[in-house]
Every structure is written in C-alpha cells, then in structure tokens.
Structure 1
Amino acid sequence: MDTLALLKKYNVAAPRYTSYPTVPFWETDKFNQEQWLISVKNTFEDYKAEGISLYIHLPFCENLCTYCGCNTRITKNHGVEQPYINALLKEWDMYLNVLGTKPKLKELHLGGGTPTFFSAANLQKLINGILEQCEIAPDPEFSFEAHPDNTTKEHLVTLHQLGFNRLSFGIQDFDPKVQLMINRFQTPQQVENITALARNIGYTSVNFDLIYGLPFQTVDGLTETLKKVIKMNADRIAFYSYAHVPWLKPGQRRYTEKDLPDSESKFNLCNLGKNALIEAGYEDIGMDHFARRHDSLFTAAQKNELHRNFMGYTHQHTQLLIGLGVSSISDSYTAFAQNTKTVESYLEYIEKGNFPLEKGHILSRKDLKIRQHIRNIMCDGKSLFYDGIPKMAHYKLVPLIEDGLISLKENLLNVNPKGKPFLRNICMALDDRLWTKEPKSQMFSYSI
C-alpha cells in the first residue's frame, strides 16, 4: 500500500497522547484535591534529585487567531497583566508549601495565549518570583511561545537574561489569503528579523510552528512558505495538521469545511511539507516534529532520551510537572490535575487561597503500564511487553502489522520507518480506555 493510501486509511480521529489516559477519559468522579496533593508531595520526595518541570499558561491575546484550539482570552486591556501575575505567584507559593522545600527547576515553559502579550517588565516580575523559590538545575531548558508581530527586543533580552534559551514562533503560513482567514498576520521579513535578533542575543534553539490543512491553503502557497522558512534555518520545526473542531472553538466558524482543503489535498500538503523539510536536512523526530542534527531534540532522540509530556516532546525528563494558570494541566506521574478554564474563576479560587483545580485523574496500575508503553512508542519507537500484549490490543495491532507499520517479535513492538507518521494510530491500539468507552461522538481531531 502506497503512502497516500495509508494516509487515507489511517486518517481517523485520534488523540495526540501528551498523556494517558487522555483527558476525555479521566475518572473525574474518583479524583479529589487531597489525593492530588499527596501524589505531588510523594513524587517530589521520590525524585527530588531529578528536579521538576513548570508550565505557566498566559492566556491573553489582543486578537483571535481563528484556527487556534488553545485556551485564550481576547483583550486589548493590558491592565489584566498585573492581577494575573499576582495570582500565578500565589498559586506557586501554594505548591511550594506542599513541596516543603525549594525544588530544583529543570524545565520552564511559558505558553498561551500569547506570552509576549505581557510587557517585558511584567514577565521579569513573574519569572523572578518563580526563580527566587527554586534551585536551578544544571543545563535547564527555559522556553516561551512568541508572536513575531509583537515580540520586541526588550522581551528577548529580558527573558534571555533570566535564563531562557529557546523560543517558538507561531508562523502557520505566509500566504496572505490564508493569513486573512485565520486572522494571523506576520511577514517573512518580520520573522527573519526577529529570528536573527534572538540568535544574536544568544538563543540557542528557535522553533517555527507551521500548519497544513488551513482554509484556502494551496500547494503553491505552502511551497512558497516552506522555501522562506527553510531559508531562515530554524533549529526545530513543528509541522502539524490543522484540527477543525468548531464545536469546541467557535472562532473556527469564520469559515466552513468547504473552505478547507479536501482530504486528498490535505494529504498532498502533508507530504509536501514533510518531504521538503527532510530534503532540507531536518530529521523527523516523530509526531510532526523536525529538528536539525545539532538540536538537543535530535540528540535526545538518537540516545533514546526523548521525553513527552503535556508540553510535547522535550529532551528533559522529570516525573513531576506543575502547571500554573488558567486551564494548565499538572502531572505527578501517578495523577493528573487540570485548573479551571476561565480567568474569573481562576482569580476567585486564588483570592480565597484555594487550589484552582477543576478536575483530575488518579492513575490505576493498568493506566501506568499503558502510559509507559505509549511513551515508549512515542519517544523510542518501540516497547517491550513483559507480561504479553493484551488480547484486545493485539487484535487492534494486526492491521498495522499487515500494512508494515509495525513489527512484533517476542512481545517487542517496533515501529517500522513506514509507521513513523502513524504513531497516534499505533498508540490508539493500546488505548484500553478508548476502546472500553467507545465514544459515540468525535472527541479528537483527525490524525492527518
């Protein structure tokens, strides 16, 4: 079966597996705050020497990008910055009281929204407030997401002085017609200038985000975007499928399915991008991520040291990830917890001195086993089933074996090179909660 036929066959609604179980299948009725905080404390004590990861969600944007699936708050009122930062620092203090001692910070990421919506001075206040209560691990990775249109030299200098060494620019597409439909504007010159400035300041890894399957996107338009992007020589590129979920994100109703590339056109856009990046010298890390050979993500993949968490792929590995801010998800390895999703309720929780938790999940022994296999497949391309492969999983894996995407030998599952674009489908075969629940409505975006 050729690549196009495989893409069509396996283009199904599938989780991205930044966690297992995935959020829709959390047993929220069995979750409570006391259990969550105990799991945080226990994991911190057991892995204190390893350090922790910290994710901070900064939800504000001045304009709505209609393609976006993130938790955002659209406003031009920058008076929201200070109260939100104060709340973040209070939430951090609450977690520090649970930990009982200064943690070693190994990984810090600012996501959004648009982190560069905040002034450089306010970001400095936030990060100083975090770092004052931490020991910094050797060779940490501090990163942030940035909009090329509003990121200033002051942002870059301030954050670099605070230890940030990596940043990601959301480009998506340079085609003016596409940009108009998704309400996301930046010129190639803007991106080239801000990228050069970041590198001159000392940032060692610059990532570009690109999306295929956007409204009115064409092969010619994407080809031009890729030429310009490749010329700028980003260290990493995330090239991923547009997730059309208007029932979750009403902003996507600005256009209809008729404005989107049809299935075959989208497959062609996917192949076009991947082939162009590989021909330009990028290595396929997996799950839509590409990196230059000098980048730490590629090095980690070569050494089987790649890790995956709610922030995506990383070369850092920690068992404890604490998420601060609206909608942030935390992971203590044995449990997950997600914060409330509105700014108002988040601020109200914090003002009252309460953890702003909305829901969570305590992992069972079975969850932990499946979680490890999914992580192994996502990061290492293989996993050994010491206790044998469960009957249902084996049944689901058979078509993947027949199509040459994976191989099984003595309970060792290996992802073949042909199967690398289909990691989500492979992991689905192991997703016991997905098959047990058999959802009647679409919960996830399509895999291609």
Structure 2
Amino acid sequence: MKIPADLIEKYDVAVPRYTSYPTVPLWENDIDESSWKTNVLKAYQEFGSKEGISLYIHLPYCDSLCTYCGCNKHITKNHDHEIPYLEALRNEWDKYLELLPSRPNLAAIHLGGGTPTFFSADNLRSLITYIRQSSNVLPKAEFSFEGHPNNTTLEHLLALKEVGFERVSYGVQDLDHKVQQAIHRIQPFSKVQEATHYAQLAGFRQINYDLIYGLPHQTTQTILHTMGRVNRLRPSRIAFYSYAHVPSVFQAQKSFEQYLPKQAEKRKLYETGKAALKSMGYEEIGMDHFALPGDDLLKAKLTGRLHRNFMGYTNFSSHMLIGLGSSAISDVYYAYAQNTKDIDLYKEQVGLGHFSHSKGHTMTQDDIKTRKTIMDLICNGTTEDANVIWRMENLQLLNDLQKDGLITIRNSNITVTPLGSAFVRNICCAFDHRMKNKNARTFVFSKAI
C-alpha cells in the first residue's frame, strides 16, 4: 500500500515507541524502596505466583561502539568486568528471593544488552544455573538471548542450550558493506551464516534476526540485497525496526546524519522490505515484526493472545517482569522501576543490600485503563474498551485520525485500518493523556515514520 506523502509529512512527528505505558520519560518517579517492595508483593500474590515471573537481565558491555545504537552500554575490551558484574546480578536476584514469600516460578529469561556474548560461555552458564537452582522453572518457560554474529560462538550456544535457552535473536541490522561502515558494525554475511549454522547445530528451536530500515546509505536496492541474503538463511522471525535518530541523546549518531533517508524515502525502504518479506513467506505480526507460518508468535496473533512488554512481542502474559542489571526496567503491573545506568553505582548499591532504582512510577487507574487500550491497539489492532473516550480533549484528534483513514470508530470500538498500521504509534498517542502535558514536549522521542 502506497502511503500518501501528505500523511507522512503530517504524522512524522516525535512520539513514544510504547514498549510501556506510561513511557519512561513521563514517569512520576514516585517509587521508594518500601513502596516498590509493596507493589512487587502485590503483583506476585495476584499474578506472579500463578503465571510465573519473567526476568530481563541487562548485560551492558560491548567491545566496540555501533554508532546507530540507542541502548545503554559500556564500551570496553577488558573482560575483568565480567565476574564483579555477575556477582552484582546475583546480589540483586537474592534481594527478590528474600522479598518473595515463596520460591518463584520462572516463566521466561531474556538476556539483553549491550552484548550478552561479551561474557564467556562459562560465566553465562554459571549465572543462569544460579537463577535456575533458586526457582521453579515452568515446563513451557521461554529462555532467549540477543547475540552478536561476530562474537557468538558455538561454545556460547551449547552452554546456553544446556541451561534451557531455545531462542537467539541475532542483531543483523543490514548486510550492505557501505551501510555497515557508516554505523560501525561490520559483520560479513559469512559471519551471520556461521552464527546461524552454529545455533542450528546447538539445537536452538528458534533463530531470529533484527533488521533496521532508515540507516545511512540505505536504498531500496540495498534493502532487497539484504532481504535476499536473509532469505537464504530463513530465520523463524524477523524484527524490521525503524531506526531511531536521537543524536541529542546518542551523539555518535551525528557522524552519519547527512546520509540518512528523508521521510517518504525512509517509508519506501520499509514498504520495499515488507513486500520482500511477504514474498519470502513471512507474515506480519505487529509493529515491524514478521514470522514464518507456524511460529508461536503468529499463532498468538491469530488467536488474540499476543502480548507486548519491554522485551517485545510475546505469546504469553507477563504481568510480572523483573529487570536485573544496570539500567534494567521492571514492570510489576502496578508499578515500574528502572535501575541506575551507572554500572559502578549499581554494583555498589546492590552490594550493600539495596535495590538500585534511579526512577520509577506507580500506576494510577487512568494509567491502567490507558495501558490496556494502547496494548490492545499495538497487539490486536483494535480495542473494545469504551473508556478510551473518557478524555474529551482526544475526540478531535480521534476524528482527524478517522477522517485520514487511519482508524474506524463504531460505538466504543476503535480499529486500526490497513493504512493506519503505518501510523500506529501516532494512534496510540491519541490516547496518551500524559503526552498532553506541556512538560512532555520537552522529552526526546524518535520520529514515528
């Protein structure tokens, strides 16, 4: 579907990505250690003890800087950092074990970063073994990690498979050499092929790729070239993300600013990639995500069981997500908390027996209603919640979205149209009462298109 240029110009504004609601910059930062413990226990009693808890573990180290990257990371080649950081992770996990009234059921683990495979295979195995031995791992628990094709070894994959990992997401981004040079992430196709082959040898059930459109020097031809090579390897899922350009936050992005595609050109890159993926047999799941037929995530989409959290789309409900590590975010349904980004401060605070939170947010009833509406739209493309129109100031914006053909409104039902799927972040923003606050406009978000 060709997107009209006037709509791209109108809606290509800075809006949140909605991996959570409220989005992190708009949190009220009203969480102290006592209130956090109260909310964790409340969520555990209501959700966690039944459905289990999910863990996100942030491993922040990278041995080189990818200039496009918007993650919280620390660049170093000194692997002496590994043991002290893993000790801090165990200390933080011990805090939760002391707090919870029973041995926790574990529904998922995701290792993110940074570069998780910066850590040795033995050290990763040791960490996960420690967590497993203090938990009840549920029969259908999902363990996954983010891998860099250049340094994910067969040893890493065998060690992680041994402790329960079944899925790896490789950060491929793009396979054109000129693009790779610009973003300082040079990984030949042979390395991606090798890493994929190693994951297959190790017995991984799912191999996913992360790709990005909107990078410097990308053209429709380079996108097709990348997709053609990806098709030779046939990963289970593909996340085809929009590049988030926020150089005021990540200064390294300024190095290639002049080579970035413009609005309509960037959208054409996505449409080209999407058409290629569909021709390759991949089906669209949600915002920028695709999977082959039979994939669990696609089944969840088709049956209305798709969920979303800080780790992306999931096929299971995760009302209780605990983040371990510097900058890691926890979501316990009634509250959010983020650990400090300062690695040394994080290690010091958890070593002294404290949670290392730098910011947080307690959910109001309005927040809970709004979150449900936004997650329904992002996951299912529709919401039947009449409460979405409880704020009258949104009505004009909703009418504009309907007039532009992005949504349909029938009674209390709001549905995203095929055209509107390109603007789902803008549609979600219409229900974001916190974004109406003048102070919200001072925060930096990436462009929608």
Q: Please give the TM-score of this superposition, normalised by the length of structure 1.
A: 0.97
CA, structure 1 residues 157+137, in 2 after alignment: closer, same or farther (shift >3 Å)? Answer: same
How far has the Cα of 1:438 moved from its partner? 5.3
How far has the Cα of 1:66 moved from its partner? 0.4
CA, structure 1 residues 386+259, in 2 after alignment: closer, same or farther (shift >3 Å)? Answer: closer
Provide the rounded CA distance (Å) in 2 between the counterparts of 1:4 and 1:159: 47
More deviation in 59-68 or 92-101?
Answer: 92-101
Question: Retained in 2: the 8 A contact 1:338–1:360?
Answer: yes
Q: For 2:42, give the aligned amino acid.
A: N
How far has the Cα of 1:104 moved from its partner? 0.8
1:164 — aligned with what? 165
CA, structure 1 residues 405+330, in 2 after alignment: closer, same or farther (shift >3 Å)? Answer: same
Question: Retained in 2: the 8 A contact 1:327–1:338?
Answer: yes
Q: For 2:426, give the aligned amino acid.
A: N
Question: Retained in 2: the 8 A contact 1:165–1:205?
Answer: yes
Where does the alignment leave 5 or more consecutive residues of structure 1 unmatched? Answer: none
Q: Secondary structure at the match of 1:369?
A: helix
2:352 — aligned with what? 352
Q: Secondary structure at the match of 1:180?
A: helix
How far has the Cα of 1:363 moved from its partner? 0.6
1:276 — aligned with what? 276
Q: How does 1:8-407 map to 2 (within 5 A)?
A: 8-28=9-29, 30-47=30-47, 48-255=49-256, 257-387=257-387, 389-390=389-390, 391-407=392-408
Provide the rounded CA distance (Å) in 2 between the counterparts of 1:399 and 1:223: 35
Question: Retained in 2: the 8 A contact 1:106–1:316?
Answer: no
Question: Retained in 2: the 8 A contact 1:307–1:314?
Answer: yes
Question: Retained in 1: the 8 A contact 2:21–2:371?
Answer: yes
Provide the rounded CA distance (Å) in 1 between the counterparts of 2:282 and 2:252: 33
Provide the rounded CA distance (Å) in 2 between the counterparts of 1:437 and 1:299: 41
Provide the rounded CA distance (Å) in 2 between the counterparts of 1:207 and 1:2: 28
Provide the rounded CA distance (Å) in 1 between the counterparts of 2:163 and 2:64: 28
Question: Retained in 2: the 8 A contact 1:105–1:135?
Answer: yes
Q: CA offsets, 1:12-57, max 9 Å, x none?
A: 11111111111111111x3222111101011101121111110000
Provide the rounded CA distance (Å) in 1 between the counterparts of 2:442 and 2:330: 27
Q: For 1:325, give the aligned amino acid.
A: G
Q: Secondary structure at the match of 2:50?
A: coil
Q: Secondary structure at the match of 2:338?
A: strand
How far has the Cα of 1:388 moved from its partner? 6.1
1:445 — aligned with what? 446
How far has the Cα of 1:312 moved from its partner? 1.1
Provide the rounded CA distance (Å) in 2 between the counterparts of 1:228 and 1:443: 35
How far has the Cα of 1:253 moved from its partner? 2.5
Indicate the RMSD between aligned Cα atoms, in angstroms. 1.4
Q: Secondary structure at the match of 1:67?
A: coil
1:426 — aligned with what? 427
Q: CA offsets, 1:84-103, max 9 Å, x none?
A: 00000110000111112211
Number of residue-to-residue matches in the alignment: 446
Q: For 1:430, give the aligned amino acid.
A: F
Provide the rounded CA distance (Å) in 2 between the counterparts of 1:399 and 1:426: 10
Provide the rounded CA distance (Å) in 1 between the counterparts of 2:10 and 2:114: 34
Moved over 4 A (4+): none
Identity of aligned residues (%): 48
Provide the rounded CA distance (Å) in 1 between the counterparts of 2:268 and 2:379: 26
More deviation in 413-422 or 151-160?
Answer: 413-422
Provide the rounded CA distance (Å) in 1 between the counterparts of 2:426 and 2:209: 25
Q: Secondary structure at the match of 2:141?
A: strand
Provide the rounded CA distance (Å) in 1 between the counterparts of 2:208 and 2:196: 10
How far has the Cα of 1:343 moved from its partner? 0.8
Question: Retained in 2: the 8 A contact 1:12–1:447?
Answer: yes
Provide the rounded CA distance (Å) in 2 between the counterparts of 1:286 and 1:392: 28
Q: CA offsets, 1:178-228, max 9 Å, x none?
A: 111111121112111221221232211111111111112222222211110
Question: Retained in 2: the 8 A contact 1:192–1:232?
Answer: yes
Provide the rounded CA distance (Å) in 2 between the counterparts of 1:351 and 1:197: 37
Q: Secondary structure at the match of 2:226?
A: helix
CA, structure 1 residues 438+345, in 2 after alignment: closer, same or farther (shift >3 Å)? Answer: closer
Q: CA offsets, 1:109-156, max 9 Å, x none?
A: 000000000000000111011111111112111000000000100000
Provide the rounded CA distance (Å) in 1 between the counterparts of 2:190 and 2:363: 48
Question: Retained in 1: the 8 A contact 2:62–2:115?
Answer: yes
How far has the Cα of 1:385 moved from its partner? 2.4
Question: Retained in 1: the 8 A contact 2:383–2:413?
Answer: yes
How far has the Cα of 1:264 moved from its partner? 2.6
Provide the rounded CA distance (Å) in 1 between the counterparts of 2:247 and 2:206: 33
Provide the rounded CA distance (Å) in 2 between the counterparts of 1:418 and 1:438: 31
CA, structure 1 residues 123+12, in 2 after alignment: closer, same or farther (shift >3 Å)? Answer: same
More deviation in 106-115 or 307-316?
Answer: 307-316
Provide the rounded CA distance (Å) in 1 between the counterparts of 2:322 and 2:396: 37
Question: Retained in 1: the 8 A contact 2:369–2:387?
Answer: no
Where does the alignment leave 5 or more consecutive residues of structure 2 unmatched? Answer: none
How far has the Cα of 1:377 moved from its partner? 0.9
Provide the rounded CA distance (Å) in 2 between the counterparts of 1:251 and 1:139: 41
Q: Please give the TM-score of this superposition, normalised by the length of structure 2.
A: 0.97
More deviation in 395-404 or 175-184?
Answer: 395-404
Provide the rounded CA distance (Å) in 2 between the counterparts of 1:87 and 1:148: 27
Question: Retained in 2: the 8 A contact 1:205–1:295?
Answer: no
Question: Retained in 1: the 8 A contact 2:388–2:431?
Answer: no
Question: Retained in 1: the 8 A contact 2:8–2:264?
Answer: no
